[in-house]
Structure 1
Amino acid sequence: MNNLAQAPKSVVMIRPHYFRPNPETANDNSFQTNNSAIDAKELSKRAFDEVSNAAKTLENYGIVVHLFDDETTVTPDSVFPNNWFSTHHNGDIGVYPMYCHNRRAERRADIIDFLSSTYKVSRVVDYSDFELKELYLEGTGSMVLDHTNRIAYAVKSNRMDITALGHFCRDFGYQGVAFDAFDKKGVSVYHTNVFMCVATDFVLIALDMIKDKTERKAIVNTIEASGKIVITLSEEQIEQFAGNAIEVESEKGQFLVMSQTGVNALQREQVAMIEEFVDIIAIDVSTVELAGGSIRCMIAGIHLPKKS
């Protein structure tokens, strides 16, 4: 297995100047919290500082961070760029259709242009027109990609349409594995990446949230057939963003980036299992987490080949 394939060495992050939980996404994002005790200016400042600190922390571990600012007020979720684009080892970039109207303005030509000037980009596949047909596929939020084995794990939800997934898999050469996952109240998991993380050697996943036993067994079989071990999380740990993690790599080694909230939710045995393979980088993003996403959502991994 190519250890370099799954973990990116460089990432894109967006630093928002006017962060706030998005009222348009509250209906189907059960992770979202509206903390009215914090005034808008303080909320924005805290989120700005959290992204700045997260970028600096990753850079200290040798990860290349391409940090862009969002100074507009119309894109409250811009801190989560992994939902609107993905990058791939062969030089492909995917641009995705977004479920919520005010999230569509997050797509930025300047970021695509920067990537094209810095890395070898062979083509950009833009699915944003799917919005006209109400077909949505919110990037590596709605899909968790096993880059090495070419598997796209995807929970069925408002944000992940089977038809759109099929187009992605055909165009990018992935096997789509679509399934249902629900919380205790029977609400669909809104994004696959809040309840599972695929790393080079292991997968974090809340198996109990896959209610259909046949489907659950099939997912476990697929993961194990890909050569990875399963580390099981509970729904309570998922609620604390323990599944919203991403593996990265630098000259200093391989790391699993998690929020401090997520790390605090793990049991000692789970930490030990993870640390058999990677060191954990814990970053406090508790303000950003009010918007219903965590550190993985804040990081768009760059898998593109570098220009010589």
Structure 2
Amino acid sequence: MITRDLDAFLALARDTAPDFGPGTARAAFLVAPDGFAHAVESASDNRYMAAAAAFEPGLAMQQHRALHAALSRQLPTVCFAGDAGTPDAVFPNNVFASARADARSGGAFAPRLVIGRMRHPVRRREAARQDIRGWFREVAGYAELDLSTQPHACELTGALVIDRARGLGYCGLSERCDAAGAALMHEAFGLRATLAFDLAPGEYHANVVLAVLAGRAVLACPEGFAVPAVAQAIARLYPHAALLSAAERDAFAGNAIALAPGTVSMSATAACALRPGTRRMLEAAGFATCQVDLSAIEAAGGSLRCCVAEVF
């Protein structure tokens, strides 16, 4: 089911067991910030992006190496080279994602690499990378589902926040993902149910205002939703939840990820902005916090979660 009807979605989601698949990834990959620079096209609808003068490529590379090291201590993490022709490639989760359907989910497809359709031409170049496609095909043995050549924007796990344990999707509609793109992603990931909702004006991706952590906790900023009650309703589905303030959102606290069952990873900026109640919720949910200084990378309008493409 994919729907904009909140009540219909909640009726299904409340009774959905966490038996769809693992709540956290088995590996991850990054793309190095080679050629890291201000992308004019991306800046046109990303209010979090800094001015060109604020970009520090050398510092971004240093911080990205520290991120790679930190994540490698949690799960196998590989890093592909960047490209000066793709200045936003440091955020590969918008372009590449993976799906795995097992017997518990009722799915019938082999592990697959999903390739998204980006709104801006500067980012569509990333989808053509043969090294990433080849690694999944030849090394990991994944099938390929290419959505990059169809006309509907669907920026994968930037627009679509997935509860992998329950097979539930939360898709924020904006210029970066339209309703048809949401439907394509729902099918591509083989989800049980997806709730589509409008993001608030000025928001570009759902994963800046919403994070589902290992299927048992949620961070949500109501101000990032066109209808704040949607964020509140999503939060009530989980045993542990925190509603983020606008200040926490602006510091990228919503752009967090659980790559291991007991750890939530976020940038140092995000971790410093957490209110005491948010910290207590994460502790009660059993999460230790891994924080990495990504201040230079955050100039490009994304943070830690945006840097991580999960491998399921």
TM-score relative to the length of structure 1:
0.86
Shift of 1:3: 10
Partners of 1:140 and 1:228 in 2: CA distance: 23
Matching residue of 1:306: none
Q: Does 1:196 align with 2:210?
A: yes
Matching residue of 1:126: 146
Matching residue of 1:56: 69
Partners of 1:241 and 1:172 in 2: CA distance: 25
Shift of 1:208: 3.2
Shift of 1:191: 0.6
Partners of 1:21 and 1:196 in 2: CA distance: 25
Distance 1:4 1:275, change over 3 A: farther
Matching residue of 1:47: 60
* 1:174-207 deviation line (CA, Å, top 9, x unaligned): 222111232xxxx241011011101121110002
Of 102-111 and 3-12, more deviation after overlay is shown by 3-12
Shift of 1:62: 3.3
Shift of 1:211: 4.1
Shift of 1:47: 1.1
Counterpart secondary structure, 2:43? coil
Percentage of identical aligned residues: 26
Shift of 1:120: 4.1
Matching residue of 1:15: 32
Q: Does 1:230 align with 2:250?
A: no
Shift of 1:148: 1.7
RMSD: 1.9
Report if the CA contact (8 A) 1:157-1:188 is conserved: no
Distance 1:211 1:141, change over 3 A: closer
Correspondence for 2:130 among 100, 109, 116? 109
Note the residue ranges of structure 1 that are not aligned, 5 or more in a row: 304-308
* 1:270-301 deviation line (CA, Å, top 9, x unaligned): 11210222111000010000000001000001
Matching residue of 1:295: 304
Report if the CA contact (8 A) 1:14-1:51 is conserved: no
Note the residue ranges of structure 2 that are not aligned, 5 or more in a row: 1-17, 102-110
Matching residue of 2:220: 205
Shift of 1:6: 1.9
Correspondence for 2:77 among 50, 54, 65? 65
Q: Does 1:178 align with 2:183?
A: no
Shift of 1:124: 1.2
Partners of 1:176 and 1:144 in 2: CA distance: 10
**Which consecutive aligned stretches of 4+ in structure 1 deviate over 4 angstroms post-superposition?**
none
Shift of 1:173: 2.2
Distance 1:87 1:37, change over 3 A: closer
* 1:240-260 deviation line (CA, Å, top 9, x unaligned): 1110011012xxx52111000
Shift of 1:13: 0.4
Shift of 1:45: 1.1
Correspondence for 1:153 among 170, 177, 181? 170
TM-score relative to the length of structure 2:
0.85
Distance 1:153 1:128, change over 3 A: same
Counterpart secondary structure, 1:275? helix
Corresponding letter in the other structure for 1:104: R
